[in-house]
């Protein structure tokens, strides 16, 4: 901590690290104290871009040994998130980790347990929880605007091919994981967040229409939630379509479709869908994502000694669901029951 501000170390410098850095800079209670990467030149470029007054550090162990570092911002490639998160927690550092935080169930478990044992604060970048549309839908659900939930559907459709800057690592099983671990996890996390329930069984089917990925790029999962609600989610990485994040919540008293509401109980005079002007999750650009809100929330959690609703323990469940879907695909659509432990 420096002058009462939390010291932040950014480790891993991809595109999303720039969005993280911009949000840390705007928070008055935090200061970036180091930037590190397996490629020192990329770390130096970020420091130069933001004109930061901090060193470029080569190794994570150096970062973790620095007493001015309170928070480690892990934004490297997928396959190192869990290992680095465990090391940061064991060093007593609070952890912000990009999604996916793990690409195997063993990694998922080890990171959850390490953070719990260390007693540090954590947050996982399911940043769409702070998107204004999702905040609005959560508020309408909590006010019982559409009654009891019958059905929920959340989809992530985003054509990602070799032109994607993260393509070299994203398309492989070893470093990308799967379609849901790479991208569809945003939709699955939103499904959990908006329903307020957990998935108890899932069956999934998939294909790899373009053959660009080592894993199946297009996945559809049908689920049952713990209160009997039925659900569906799809991720389509081969889609020829503008980025689309589709949300449907059907209740006993009304329905929410993206930013439209039909709820005669709440709006007795309505004669058609009522649009809600707000900011939609309609872009894959990381600079469109509400990182300011996420990082401000995390800082408040640390300063007020409380847990985030999006901590590692909660994100464990979203990753478990991704891995259950992958298990169902491997079993030709067999029903997989959760929890996996």
Question: What does pTM read for this prediction?
Answer: 0.96
Percentage of the chain beyond pLDDT 90 is 93
Calpha distance 280→239 (Å, rounded):
19
Q: Which residues partner with 8 through β-bridges?
A: 32, 71
Instruction: Supply the DSSP string of 54-67, one letter for each residue.
Output: S-EE--HHHHHT-T
With contact defined as beta carbons under 8 Å apart, do 306 and 292 qualify? no
Q: What pLDDT, on the 0 to 100 scale, is given for residue 171?
A: 95
Q: What pLDDT, on the 0 to 100 scale, is given for residue 287?
A: 81
Main-chain phi, psi angles of 74, to 5 degrees:
-95, 110
Which residue is it, tokens 């070799």? 162
Domains of the chain: 6-127+291-311 (3.40.50.720), 129-284+319-337 (3.30.360.10)
Calpha distance 108→252 (Å, rounded):
36
Q: Is 147 exposed, middle or buried (0-12, 13-18, 19+ CB in 10 A)?
A: middle
Q: What pLDDT, on the 0 to 100 scale, is given for residue 14?
A: 87
Calpha distance 232→188 (Å, rounded):
9
Q: How is residue 171 annotated by DSSP?
A: T
Instruction: Supply the DSSP string of 113-159, one letter for each residue.
Output: HHHHHHT--EEE--GGGGSHHHHHHHHHHHTTTT-SEEEEEEEEE--
SS3 state at 249: strand
Listed residue (307, 250, 240) closest to 95, CA to CA:
307
CB atoms near residue 334 (< 10 Å): 12
Calpha distance 46→51 (Å, rounded):
8
Which residue is it, tokens 């849901």? 180
End-to-end CA distance of the chain: 38
- Give pLDDT tens digits along the chain (341 positions): 777 899 999 999 988 999 999 999 999 999 999 999 989 999 999 999 999 999 999 899 999 999 999 999 999 999 999 999 999 999 999 999 999 999 999 999 999 999 999 999 999 999 999 999 999 999 999 999 999 999 999 999 999 999 888 899 899 999 999 999 999 999 999 999 999 999 999 999 999 999 999 999 999 999 999 999 999 999 999 999 999 999 999 999 999 999 999 999 999 999 999 999 999 999 888 888 999 999 999 999 999 999 999 999 999 999 999 999 999 999 999 999 999 97
Q: What pLDDT, on the 0 to 100 scale, is given for residue 146?
A: 97
Order of strands across the sheet that contains 56-57? 56-57, 30-36, 6-11, 71-74, 94-97, 122-124
pLDDT in tens, 46-103: 999 999 999 999 899 999 999 999 999 999 999 999 999 999 999 999 999 999 999 9
Which residue is it, tokens 């709006």? 267
């Amino acid at each position: 901590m420096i002058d009462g501000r939390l010291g932040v170390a950014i480790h891993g410098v991809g595109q999303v690290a720039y969005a993280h850095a911009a949000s840390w800079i705007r928070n008055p209670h935090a200061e970036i104290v180091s930037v590190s990467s397996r490629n020192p030149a990329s770390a130096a470029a970020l420091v130069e871009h933001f004109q930061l007054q901090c060193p470029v550090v080569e190794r994570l162990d150096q970062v973790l040994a620095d007493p001015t570092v309170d928070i480690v911002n892990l934004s490297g490639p997928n396959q190192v998130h869990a290992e680095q998160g465990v090391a940061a927690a064991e060093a007593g550092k609070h952890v912000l980790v990009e999604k996916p935080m793990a690409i195997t169930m063993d990694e998922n478990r080890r990171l959850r347990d390490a953070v719990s044992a260390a007693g540090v604060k954590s947050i996982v970048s399911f940043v769409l929880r702070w998107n204004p549309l999702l905040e609005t839908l959560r508020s309408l659900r909590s006010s019982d605007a559409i009654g009891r939930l019958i059905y929920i559907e959340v989809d992530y459709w985003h054509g990602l091919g070799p032109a994607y800057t993260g393509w070299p690592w994203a398309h492989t099983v070893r470093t990308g994981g799967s379609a849901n671990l790479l991208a569809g996890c945003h939709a699955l996390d939103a499904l959990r967040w908006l329903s307020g329930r957990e998935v108890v069984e899932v069956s999934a089917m998939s294909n790899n229409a373009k053959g660009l990925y080592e894993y199946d790029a297009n996945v559809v999962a049908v689920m049952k939630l713990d209160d009997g609600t039925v659900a569906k989610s799809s991720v389509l990485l081969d889609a020829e379509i503008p980025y689309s994040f589709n949300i449907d919540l059907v209740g006993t008293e009304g329905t929410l479709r993206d930013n439209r509401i039909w709820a005669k109980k709440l709006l007795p005079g309505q004669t058609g869908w009522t649009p809600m002007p707000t900011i939609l999750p309609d872009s894959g650009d990381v600079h469109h994502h509400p990182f300011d809100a996420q990082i401000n929330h995390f800082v408040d959690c640390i300063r007020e000694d409380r847990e985030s609703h999006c901590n590692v323990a909660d994100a464990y469940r979203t990753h478990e669901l991704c891995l259950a879907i992958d298990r169902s695909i491997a079993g030709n659509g067999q029903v997989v029951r959760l929890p996996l432990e």
